[in-house]
A and B are shown apart, each in its own frame.
Chain A
């Protein structure tokens, strides 16, 4: 999966030159499919050795050791205030500006290349999710892909 991400990053520059597209790493939380810009994804791993940090926000699970760097572990479903319960198994590790954080997700899915002009504004209301974290949506044949707003997700 790690390779997938890095291939995606290589593809990124090539494809953008041809056509205005973005590459999204998609993953599941519950029955919802989310996408996050591939350039933000550092890696995905299974390490769940989390050290709790008392008195932090409820969506913060703690900190973990990523090869010598200490990163914050965030319960993504709590952060984006989903109304459904999830069973997180994987760390989606994102870098945004100077911060690195691991977001717990349930299942990794595909890496998709999507033309920018096909992205749509999110509807007024998305059942089960707080709208402020949704940047765009994209209609896949079988379901709606929710593109997360990385700024908001990293927001303190």
Chain B
């Protein structure tokens, strides 16, 4: 019986050796003549053989011996590292791995026919190799005398090979495994001494600077460091009270050392992501081979560090994603050649830090994901109705991939399985507090972006208070902080509160309300939070610093409360609950219910791009509608507050004189009858504000802005729609205000020579009218096309715009496709393009800029759109002058 300790040491060393060799073999394939690697491989294999011999592990020794033999030939340049040789060497490595794993479990070698068979194959292969060398040598001897010098050495080597071959004949090997044949220790040391070439000094130093430490020890150390920090904090407080300068100085030192100690211990748990990445060269190689594909793997950012628990947890999801890329993404070499790509596909594995998180990208230049195919499949599987599917955005369509049982591969391959997977990948990543997104361009490739926190135990968080209690909000969920005036900036719609953030309406919640606490003070701080799917605002009392907090779990009594994801101990030893931002939004789902109920009734999905919050209001018996984002404020005023000054109606509102507009003066509708109190909509632009009088506010709904234009259209009305069995007129507020005061929008604009032409690609008549109206007011000539294709036709027919404005979501040819077309054609390449959308999101913004757009604005932000246009035109002018 072998002593356990020694065996353990052997196994640890063997595993290290295997891992090292695995990397080196892959490296070798790339650089076949790298003698350094060959030397190193030989050395490792040789030590393994020696140690296996010492323990009497015959099959292990046998395999290692053959491998060493082949390696020595490679090292000496007798043969070339051809693919079959590398293959067999890798197989050797696999068998060695298998045997070592078996040894670890049962302390004896496996008696497996497969291994014996493999040994036989190995010896045959070795014979073949020898023959090959002989033949080559015959040729070479004839041609060059130089080679002769090597021959004796080779012969010698071969004889060793032969001898060992005799020694472990398969049948014998089985018998011998039971009898530990121990070579004498001297023999071993001799052998080691003999063959081990002097290691380079650099390598030697490296091994000495690292030691192996039990992970549990590190965890304990980290907990202790946490305790120490708390104790330190108490001491600091006490010292401050005593105000003894000597004491304070030493406490300061204690404090610094403690912090440094804590940080250093945290670092010990960090590992470079290369630990995982380095497994991929082998996986990719094997996979590509079995699928007859050629793939170049590029690893970037392998030094990026992550907590070891996360490293463990992302291994499987990443492997799955890599497999998907090779199996479904990268095409076979023939096909790649046909479409003009290099026969070798490229797969990038990239890791980098971004905002306290680690981003891992898996990018391929394969065929991309066919959205049409996913759409068909989604409809087939009944996940969505055929009518709805066309309204879905690209992101939403791609999200079907993460539904369980969803696979678009026509052939089910062994490699990627049956589409069980992506859903599991997503859940696993989300469990880590991470997120996953897919970007794809058909025929160009796919990028999967996985974002994960640096560590599970320590997260950056913003500390806020509500009713003097502190709460931690994970920084990952925090988009921005806005200081607001609750009186002015909060829009009330029924019970719900909203805030207008750069044109986008987002629901807001109050932390003290959610936590059922009495409001002790006005909440002035609005945090804009994201759940990954939607934004919402959270009002809090006070904001403290952002801190790294240690996440501690809560007891089982709190599992049913979705509001918290744990708690943390603050510097003063007191506790703060960590808010679960996703859970919070679910918890108060009731608040959004009103909006959603309205939507259900009207059977309008919220998911299309063009949805907007619409305010419905009555002017006597006419119902009118306006996008809520255009209204700066809603209020009620008493009838007697309306004064007439200089022949115009005005109100005094918050110490300002605000002109009053009555819609009936500009539209053929019945006017507001005298009431005690009127509802007023305020419309502000730059410094100017006007008030529109109406009888009452009806509702707010989130809906698409599809309007009919066959009736009612006239200056001031963009179109109509039936909502709740009532005709609703959509107001063109810009036109109305212009009718009220033609000078209202006049700004000193740049002097332009001649008319400036703008081509507007936009499918919704509502926006067609609204945008072209405000562009015309701005002095532009506007040509409208209902989609990308029609716009291209106009261009080809000879329309030469100074600027193109395009929507994204359009039928026939969408904005992405349109920009791609524009940028690929010489004659249109230099026309500036502005993307105008109601869709906001960093990924979309990035995508349109990647495609070659020059600007990106939100439709309802008239002022910003106009100034962006000015800027684009100015730039164009400058460029023209330079040219």
Contacts and interface: CB of A to CB of B under 8 A. Distances in A.
Contact of B575 (A65, A74, A99): A65
Contacts of B657: none
A72 B554 contact: yes
A72 B223 CA distance: 20
A101 interface: yes
A56 B556 CA distance: 11
A56 B561 contact: yes
B321 interface: no
A55 B573 contact: no
A54 B555 contact: no
Interface in B520-576: 552-561, 563-564, 567, 569, 573-576
**Chief secondary structure at chain B's binding surface:** mixed
Contacts of A56: 557-558, 561
B405 to A, nearest CB: 34
Contacts of B515: 54-55
Interface in A40-77: 49, 51-57, 60, 63-65, 67-72, 74
Contact-residue size bin, chain B (C-beta under 8 Å from the other chain): 20 to 34
A10 B675 CA distance: 85
Interface in B440-474: 469
A69 B552 contact: yes
A43 to B, nearest CB: 16
7 contacts: A51-B576, A54-B516, A65-B575, A70-B554, A70-B555, A72-B557, A100-B555
Interface in A2-46: none
A125 interface: no
Interface of A: 49, 51-57, 60, 63-65, 67-72, 74, 99-101, 156
A92 B576 CA distance: 23
B575 A63 contact: yes
A52 B469 contact: yes
B38 interface: no
A101 B561 CA distance: 18
A103 to B, nearest CB: 12
A72 B555 CA distance: 6
Nearest to B575: A51
Contacts of A55: 515-516, 561, 563
Given A64-B575, A65-B569, A67-B227, A54 B563 contact: yes
A58 B515 CA distance: 14
Interface string B60-79: 00000000000000000000
A55 B514 CA distance: 9
B110 interface: no
A54 to B, nearest CB: 4
B243 interface: no
A130 to B, nearest CB: 18
Nearest to A55: B561
3 closest A-B pairs by beta carbon, nearest first, are A72-B555, A54-B515, A51-B575
Nearest to A51: B575
Contact of A53 (B226, B230, B558): B558
Contact of B558 (A67, A69, A72): A72
Nearest to A98: B556
A99 B576 contact: no
Given A70-B554, A72-B554, A99-B556, A65 B573 contact: yes
A118 to B, nearest CB: 34
B89 interface: no
Nearest to A59: B557
Contacts of A69: 552
Given A68-B227, A70-B552, A71-B555, A53 B573 contact: no
A53 B577 contact: yes
Contacts of A101: 555, 557
A70 B576 contact: no
Contacts of B558: 53, 56, 60, 72
B414 interface: no
A67 B563 CA distance: 25
B189 interface: no
A70 B567 contact: yes
A71 B575 CA distance: 11
Contacts of B552: 69-70
A101 B515 CA distance: 23
Contacts of B561: 53, 55-56
Nearest to A54: B515
Contacts of B749: none
Contacts of A65: 569, 573-575
Contacts of B517: 54
B653 to A, nearest CB: 38
Contacts of B556: 99, 156
A156 B557 contact: yes
Interface string B695-714: 00000000000000000000
A68 B575 contact: no
A53 B564 contact: yes
A34 B448 CA distance: 60
B567 A63 contact: yes
Interface in B390-435: none
Contacts of A68: 223, 226-227, 230, 569
